[in-house]
Amino acid sequence: MARYMERTNGLLRVLRTNYVASQDEIKQYNWRSVLQTYGYLSPSEMETIQYNSRAVLEYVMLGKENEASLINSITRSRENARAVQDHITKEMWHNLNAYYLLIREPSIRQTIQSGDPITALDALIRHSLLLYGTIDITMSRGEAYSFLNVGRFVERAIIITDVSDIKLKEVNYRLDDELTLPSLRYLLYSLSGYEVYLKTSRGIMTPDTIMKQVLYDESFVHSILYCMSHISRYFKRLEGQSIPESFAHLDFLIGKAYNNLKYSTCDLKGGVSIGALLNQTRSDLYNIAIAFNKHYFGYN
Amino acid sequence: MTIPKILESYNPQEDIWDELMGEDGVRPIYEQFVRSIEGISHEEMEGKDDLAKKLFMTQGITFTVYSDREGVEKIFPFDIIPRVISSEEWSVIETGIKQRLKALNIFLKDIYHQQFIIKDGIIPLKLIYSCPLFLREMMYVDVPFDIYSHIAGIDLVRDADGSFYVLEDNLRTPSGVSYMLENRSMTVRIFPDLIPKNNVRSVIEYPSFLLKNLLGLANRQTSNPTVVLLTPGVYNSAYFEHTTLARLMGIELVERRDLVVENHHVYMKTTAGLKKVDVIYRRVDDDFMDPLVFRPDSILGVPGIYWAYRKGNVAIVNAMGNGVADDKVVYAYVPEMIRYYLNEEPILKNVPTYALDVPENRSMVFANMDKMVIKKTNESGGYGMLIGNKASEEEMETYKKAILEDPRSFIAQPIINLSTSPCYIDGKMQPRRVDLRPFALYGPDGISIVPGGLTRVALKEGSLVVNSSQGGGSKDTWVLGS
């Protein structure tokens, strides 16, 4: 549930940023990398819509046939929440249900098809934030809250690796090209990190300092290392409620992933090296998620 | 192209250049835009107009009017129809502004150092020394890279023949750039997809260009200079702009109480102690900058900052004393400056300007007052202005009296028939007068101008005054790619 919730929030921010970018460019904006990450279209199907912002938004946000779409994520999150209503607060359930109803409103589709898509995206982002606020204010800091947060930060870290990969793909992993900076600036926008970057780096835009913030800055809430340390923090709270072997296995995987990232020898000036680190990190995160499913949720 | 329904009631006036309609109908640069909106119903247009108002409200995009009894903050009226400029027109504007700004900066250096332009008899000595904005304290002060006006907002208008004239060179603390940026983001919301379809050039790089220039002015051997934006505070009319720019550049927004001068260095108070400041982008006027040197009653400036600046320990943007170059009488000499310093013919024209301390000019202006605009030389924002054809006999007499008492403080210019641009007002398209303020940035690497600017509109029918403080509004400015 928490992973789906985080995914919707991350996806909404990615779409908003890319949509704004598409409106501010003279050349036609290509949505291919977004479609590759958040969809299952064949190359030929992709070609038909990759320059059409509204069609892309409709497919990624409202496409029921698209497993990775926003509407499917919200629906699944709600289904999961319905199944664990005894562990979550009534307010949280109400909010999630309202979120589900909101995305199904005809006005959202209409706004995306023919109105101002940012209005629709903003309404959904606002609701997503309302949900976070509700969780923060109403949930007790017990087992369920820890699970929610582990899921939330696992998903956030995966989203960061995906979004970074999208932007690196746009420049063919070449960080020495001058066209890199606009793409990386939009990466920061997608992660709500542009202002943080300006404050800490005095506005001097260099690919390696941008990537350093995205990968390693532990005070930036959308850096991978921040997420990793929070996965570890919330997971450790579950120790008392865990089977020792399960806890030990997960603890090892989380520690390994954290150290793989923190002590990596990645060359921040080289896109290929960063790409490899992102792949490694994503793989570590998936392993954590799979182990969680196996040891804590009984999936095989 | 044929006139679409939405423009059927659009009625440009004779003898005025209309940005949208020429003699042969819709001008080619507007065709794509007009095609895009011709299918939009009246209800949809109303919806877009409402959306714009709502967005300005919710995003807090406001300005402050000092004398308004209703409240301090007001929403800057925004017209949803963009003003379009072709790439060829922009090319002339861009080169013309660069030429002008270069000459004006050389003039400022000259006037505060050797004063060759006075010695060579191009500009009268009396004119400079009688200018209240000429700061004797700036004599022989060396400013970084000899740049005085790092940020200029040059006001341009179009006369009936379609040619651009410079109306004012704002070289002190020109404002409005945040509205240029906000107007663009509003257009993205109101007319989705139209900007890429119309091949409109981006203005988003302005804060990056400005920050790069500011960082370039730091003379300390550091890779991480401290740059701050000094604001007079929350009650200043442009406070929204100050906060926006500081946020977009990631620099600290400071007020007088946040800065302190010690041993001729400027420091910022932080929670971790004092931090040395290298560059100050100040939005405080010269007179108020340092109570120890200028106005002693100033509570906006920082005591001791002048000497820190004079010793080169801090860079101030824009430099102090620039007002002498945008004094309305000195303005008349800018074409001569361009010829004198650059040995080039001016690309952009000046509006004919008559200094009223010259008796012949005075009698000519008094005889033709109904055809003239009379302006106080050191007022801005549309204050201290008399428009002859709109003024009553009584107002004219008051001005005559004031001019005779202090002729140096007034100039007269013929009334320029500012061009009109389509605006969506009261549910229909109507022509309204506009001007244009592009923002030029002069840094160590040269002059850069983002393709666009602030188009200000006189929203009242028949009005020529576009200033926000006088009931004007603004609209997005589209410079088309080639």
DSSP B424-482: EETTEEEEEEEEEE-EEEEETTEEEE-S--EEEEE-STT-----GGGTEEEEEEEEBP-
**Region B371-383: what's the mean pLDDT?**
76
Task: Tell me how long chain B is.
Answer: 482
Q: What are phi and psi of B63, to 5 degrees?
A: -135, 165
Instruction: Name the band, by pLDDT with cuts 50, 70 and 90, for residue B391.
Output: confident
Q: For chain A, say whether B481 makes contact (Cβ under 8 Å).
A: yes
Cβ B240 vs Cβ B247: under 8 Å: no
Which residue in the set A116, A119, A198 is minimally distant from B250, CB to CB?
A: A198
B208 touches chain A (CB under 8 A): yes
Give CA separation, B325 vs B106, B125, B148, in Å: 10, 14, 10
Q: What is the 3-state secondary structure (H, E, C) of B180-236?
A: HHHHHHHHHHHCCCHHHHCCECCCCCHHHHHHHHHHHCCCCCCCCCCEEEECCCCCC
Give chain A positions within 8 Å (CB) of B250. 195, 197-203
Report the pLDDT value the prediction gives residue B64, as an integer from 0 to 100. 64
To the nearest whole percent, how much of chain B has pLDDT over 70?
94
For residues A33 and A23, what is the distance between their CA atoms, to the nearest angstrom?
17
What's the pLDDT tens digit per position in A91-118?
999 999 999 999 999 999 999 998 899 9
Is B39 an interface residue toward A (CB < 8 Å)? Answer: no
Our CA-based measurement puts residue B313 at a distance from the nearest CA of chain A, in whole angstroms, of 20
Asked whether B477 and B186 are in contact (CB, 8 A), the reply is no
Tens digit of each residue's pLDDT (9 = 90 or more) over B85-113: 999 999 999 999 999 999 999 999 999 99
By three-state DSSP, how is residue B170 classified? strand
Q: Which residues of chain A have pLDDT under 50?
A: none
Residue A20 touches chain B, beta carbons under 8 Å: yes
Rounded mean pLDDT of B149-169? 93
Cα–Cα dist A132/A249, whole Å: 29
Is there a contact between B189 and A119 if contact means CB atoms under 8 Å apart? yes
- Return the residue in B197, B199, B202 with the most chain A beta carbons within 10 A, the one to mutate for interface testing: B202
Q: How many CB atoms lie within 10 A of CB A242?
A: 17
Closest chain A residue to B481, measured at CA: A26
Chain A residues in contact with B225 by the CB 8 A cut-off are: 202
**Nearest chain B CA: its distance from A54 CA (Å):** 9
**Which residues in chain A have their CB less than 8 angstroms from residue B275's CB?**
none
Q: How confident is the model at residue B437 (pLDDT cuts 50, 70, 90)?
A: very high
Please give the DSSP secondary-structure letter assigned to residue B8.
Answer: T
Q: Name every residue whose Cβ is closer than 8 Å to that of residue B76 and which is 6 or more positions away in sequence.
A: B56, B61, B62, B63, B179, B468, B473, B474
Q: Which residue of B has its CA nearest to A119?
A: B189
Q: Which of A21-35, B236-250, B258-272 has the highest mean pLDDT?
A: B258-272
Which residues, 6 or more positions from B259, have their beta carbon under 8 angstroms from its beta carbon?
Answer: B228, B230, B266, B267, B268, B269, B277, B302, B305
What phi and psi, each to the nearest 5 degrees, are found at residue A233? -60, -50
- Chain B nearest-CA distance from A63, in A, is 21
Which residues in chain B (223-242) have CB-CB distances under 8 A to chain A? Answer: 224-225, 227
SS3 B317: strand
Contact A23 B196 (CB under 8 A): yes
Determine the distance in angstroms separating the CA of B422 from the nearest CA of chain A, rounded to an integer.
Answer: 23
Cβ contact A197–B250 (<8 Å): yes
Determine whether the interchain pair B196/A25 forms a contact, defined as Cβ–Cβ distance below 8 Å.
yes
Q: Is A54 on the interface with B (CB under 8 A)?
A: yes
**Quick check: A26 and B201 CB within 8 A?**
yes
Residue B24 confidence (pLDDT): 84
Average pLDDT over residues B173-202: 91
Closest CA to A166 of A176, A158, A154: A158
For residue A206, the distance in angstroms to the closest alpha carbon of chain B comes to: 13
Interface TM-score (ipTM) > 0.85: no
DSSP element (H, E) containing A150: helix A143-170
Sequence-distant (6+) residues with CB within 8 A of A286 are: A158
Taking contacts as CB-CB distances below 8 angstroms, the residues of chain B near A27 are 196
Looking at residue A88, what DSSP letter applies? S
pLDDT computed for residue A105 by the predictor: 94
Q: Determine contact: A79 vs chain B, CB below 8 A.
A: no
B chain contacts of residue A184, beta-carbon cutoff 8 Å: none
Triad A258, A264, A265: Cα angle to 5° = 175
Residue B412's H or E segment, with its range, is strand B410-414
CA distance B271 to chain A (A): 16
Tell me the mean pLDDT in the region B8-29. 88
Cα–Cα distance between B241 and B63 in angstroms, integer?
8
Q: Taking CB atoms and an 8 Å limit, are B250 and A201 in contact across chains?
A: yes
- What confidence tier does B459 reach under pLDDT thresholds 50, 70, 90? confident
Check: pTM over 0.80? Answer yes or no: yes
Contact B46, B187 (CB under 8 A): no
Mean pLDDT of the region B105-123: 96
Angstroms from B190 CA to nearest CA on chain A: 7
Measured between beta carbons, the chain B residues lying within 8 angstroms of A121 are none
User: Among the listed ranges B69-73, B176-180, B300-304, which one has the minimum average pLDDT value?
Assistant: B69-73
Residues from chain B contacting residue A54 (CB–CB below 8 Å): 192-193
Averaged pLDDT, B379-395:
75
- Helix H or strand E encompassing A198: helix A194-201
The residue-averaged pLDDT of B443-469 equals 87
Cβ within 8 Å, pair A203-B212: yes
Q: Does B218 touch chain A (CB under 8 A)?
A: no
CA distance B39 to chain A (A): 13
Q: Does A178 touch chain B (CB under 8 A)?
A: no
Region B282-297 average pLDDT: 93
Task: Report the amino acid identity of residue B195.
Answer: I
What residues of chain A lie within 8 A of the CB of B481, using their CB? 26
Residue B247, chain A, CB below 8 Å: the answer is yes
Q: Do B196 and A28 touch (CB under 8 A)?
A: yes
Instruction: Decide: residue A260, CB within 10 A, 0-12 exposed, 13-18 middle, 19+ buried.
Output: middle
Q: Which of A26, A28, A198 sits opposite B481 (nearest CB)?
A: A26
pLDDT of residue B319: 96
- Nearest by Cα to A268 from A202, A198, A217, A194: A217
Greater pLDDT, B276 or B357: B276
Question: What is d(CA B434, CA B81) in angstroms, rounded to the nearest whole number?
Answer: 12
Q: Cis omega (within 30 of 0) on the bond before B318?
A: yes
CA distance to partner chain B, nearest, from residue A24 (Å) = 6
Long-range CB pairs of A141-148 (<8 Å, 24+ gap) are A143/A87, A143/A238, A143/A241, A144/A84, A144/A87, A144/A88, A146/A234, A146/A235, A146/A237, A146/A238, A147/A2, A147/A238, A147/A296, A148/A1, A148/A2
Instruction: Give CA–CA dist A179/B130, Å, rounded.
Output: 52
pLDDT for residue B120 is more than 90 = yes
A197 in contact with B at a CB cutoff of 8 Å? yes
- The end-to-end CA distance of chain A, in Å, is 18
Instruction: Output helix, strand, coil percentages for chain B, rounded to the nearest 5.
Output: 35, 25, 40
- The whole-angstrom distance between A193's CA and the closest CA on chain B is 12
Nearest by CB to A198, from B188, B224, B249: name it: B249
Residues 6+ apart with CB under 8 A from B69: none
Structure tokens at A191: 């992660």
Residue identified by tokens 């003279």 is A26
B221 has pLDDT over 70: no
Closest residue of chain A to B45, computed from CA coordinates: A115
Q: Report angle CA A13, A15, A19 to the nearest 5 degrees.
A: 120
A28 touches chain B (CB under 8 A): yes
State the Cα–Cα distance between residues B385 and B398, nearest whole angstrom. Answer: 12
- Determine the pLDDT at residue B67: 58
Residue in A with minimal Cα distance to B194: A23
Cα dihedral value A187, A190, A196, A198, nearest 10: 50
CA distances from A281 to A168, A268, B166 (A): 15, 15, 58
Average pLDDT, chain B: 89
pLDDT at B207: 93
For position B151, what pLDDT does the model report? 97
pLDDT digits (tens, 9 = 90+) for B35-71: 888 888 888 889 899 888 888 888 877 766 655 555 5
Substitution target in A16, A22, A26, A179 with the highest count of B β-carbons within 10 Å is A26
Minimal CA separation from B47 to chain A, in Å:
10
Cβ contact, residue pair A119, B199, below 8 Å: no
CA separation, residue B156 to residues B159, B347, B361, B419, B461 (Å): 10, 13, 24, 11, 20
pLDDT greater than 90 at residue B432: yes
- Number of neighbours of residue B266 by Cβ within 10 angstroms: 26
At B169 the pLDDT is 92
**CA-based nearest distance B479→chain A, Å:** 11
